[in-house]
Amino acid sequence: MKNGAVFYNVGRGVTVDQPALLAALRSGRLAAAYLDVTDPEPPPPDDPIWSVPNCWITPHAAGGHQDESERVVAHFLENLRRFEAGDPLLDRVSVE
């Protein structure tokens, strides 16, 4: 990552080398980090990641809604209906 970048992790805590992240934050190489996941989760109370002023840790709440499964299925079914009818799909991401 380039100097001054901001790092976000909403995926898996184990994919991040947390000691390296901590060093990059402390040195200023990274401007900030926003972590919705850590390893372990949550970090122990004495973990130094808690004391870094340019690191924010959220309670593993990225995404997820009470009715998320139903909404995902409804979205899929609507796009299936549109696909079968030859209509444009909802939320299509284009790489043009």
Domain shared by 31 and 16, yes or no: yes
- Summarised one tens digit per residue, pLDDT across range 50-78 is 999 999 998 776 666 778 789 889 999 99
Active site members: 12, 41, 60
The answer to whether residues 34 and 21 belong to one domain is yes
Does residue 96 sit within a domain? Answer: no
Q: What is the dihedral angle through the alpha carbons of 19, 15, 57, 40, rounded to the nearest 10 degrees?
A: -80
* Helix or strand (DSSP H, E) at 84: helix 68-85
Rounded to 5 degrees, φ, ψ at 35 are -120, 120
| Cβ–Cβ under 8 Å, residues 19 and 48 | no
State how many domains the chain has. 2
Looking at the structure, tell me whether residues 36 and 48 fall in a common domain.
Answer: yes
Q: How many CB atoms lie within 10 A of CB 38?
A: 20
- Output the pTM of the full model: 0.63
Q: What is the pLDDT of residues 11-52, one digit of tens each?
A: 888 999 999 999 999 999 999 999 999 999 888 889 999 999
Position 6 pLDDT exceeds 80: yes
